[in-house]
Structure 1
Amino acid sequence: MDSDNLLGQFLRARRARVGPADVGMPGGLRRRVPGLRREEVAMLAGLSTDYYVRLEQGRERNPSAQVLEALAGALLLEGDAVVHLHRLAGTGAGGRRAGRGRKVGAGLARMLDSWAGTPAVVLDHCLRVLAHNPLGGALFAGHTYSGDLVRFVFLDPGAPDFYPDWDRVAVNTVAALREGAGADLNDPELTALVGELSLKSAAFRELWARHDIRRKTRDTKRFHHPVVGDLTLTYESFTVNSEPGRQLVVYQAEPGSPSAHALALLGSLTVPEPAERSGGGAAGDLPRRGLAAEN
């Protein structure tokens, strides 16, 4: 990845996503590239074309917050994408998050285990599963990449069947990965992940080039589970303030729904009794609570 001009990469990618009609401009007959021209973005943002070109080329690296807000408006950026723009330019909160390593605190692990009827997982900045409660493990178990949600979506042959809305899941997964990475795209783990997936998955390569940014917050997701069949679950994602860079994701089914009954069945079939949970899992399982917890 070119780490010398991340702001310019982002501006170019997002400029290509906005058509003239999106901002009330005539399209013209001949446009050699998709999206807006540089001079059009500059005009919409109230900047000189030369200044905007220097921003894209990395020859200007210190735009003011006001300039960035004008660019966000011109490029129709919202929410997390605006935060990311400021972070890339060094005018907003960002920097590398703490919380490296594969362990979670013992208190967080105990809290996971206390939610016996609710699937819950803890993810790192690369969307790897650091810990889960028994039902959270059962939800994703049985796949080649059960413990790595990005590789699961793009490399696991069972993913399109497991996720009936795979296209939507793929878009959201890459956007969440970019948001989790922040401005530090030189992180060695992220670099290795993006490099591998860019070689192995054309879909990932295309989505990564779009520079979508979307924080994992809440959504409804459909699953086709190999044991209990179709599930429609809502999830809420929470930042873990005691362990920066991690997020806790909790899934729920609508009470009394077929999905709630299926989730209860999954728990009865796969969740071990409390006395059995202290033992280690089989090779290839998701990280168990006891193995992932930090004492």
Structure 2
Amino acid sequence: MGMRIRAVEYYLPPGTLSNNDLSASFPEWSVEKISAKTGIRSRHVASGDEYSSDLAVRAAEKCFAARPELRNDVDYVIVCSQTSDFVLPGIAGIVQDRLGLPTGIGAVDINLGCSGYVYALGLAKGLIESRQATRILLITSDTYTKLLNERDKSVRTIFGDGATASIIDSDARHDGFQIVYGTDGAGAASLIVPGGGIRDGREIQPSADAAARQLDSGQFDLYMDGPDIFNFTLRVVPQSVNDLLERSGLEKDEVDLFVFHQANAFMLDHLRRKLDIPKERFFLSLEETGNTVSSTIPIALAEAVRSGALVPGMMVMLLGFGVGLSWAGMLLKW
């Protein structure tokens, strides 16, 4: 028994943070410099009383509104988030209740970031193939901007908030999915939130201390070692692409569209050129959303469908990479 992605929708909170706004806060960075470095012009920001569960519910309701028939027979909910409303309970149960879904279904959280959508698709595939579920609501939702120190321009220029909802169905005609996974926990300190948790993150990453970064401490103070993340990406992404192609028996030219985690334009363009992928087969969608973590790939998929860049029958490669350190790739027919 195979699976297919039946629908993908996304929700972005109405609040925005533009490059003009950032340039006003950081005069040493011009609007043009921010755009050139990141490929981002604006990002959406959740309000003070808007949380990941709120975004998740709105994304799901948007998906159901577009395809009402898909609300029926959902028998499992997967929510991928690193900014769950609470330490406990999990966010998936909250979302199940607010959507009015039956109580006799499965609902589970996974705490993954940039690779999370592909990991969640892998879990959905396993649930369907083992006949534990037949229709899965897969949600990604993060409010990363709540983790950022307002004076840390290195991350405020990149991250935005958003949520997506995908419907994953069983389908015997779509059983050729290939997946690769990777984990390097030795890189945990490269992207970390030192504050707000049960353990002080400065124990494993002293550089995450706000004072060491000449910042007044906020509640969370997300820290990212940009060069280390960049080097990690250059190391694992080409190998993952090659592994996927080898497992599937395909050549790179047989992949119609590459949809990678939308980290920033500089990194993506570097990867595209390193892999020798033509621009027309390498999809970008971050200019008005920024890096929405686990939601970047499904947002890009939804936009690719809307723009006509992705149509049924195409071979698509998805690849997520980032915090963990973690990466995952999937090759599928749309």
Q: TM-score, normalised by structure 1?
A: 0.23
Which is greater in Rg? 1
Give the structure, 1 or 2, with the largest relative contact order (CA under 8 Å, sep 6 or more): 2
Question: Which has the larger share of helix?
Answer: 1
TM-score in terms of structure 2 length = 0.21
More strand by share: 2
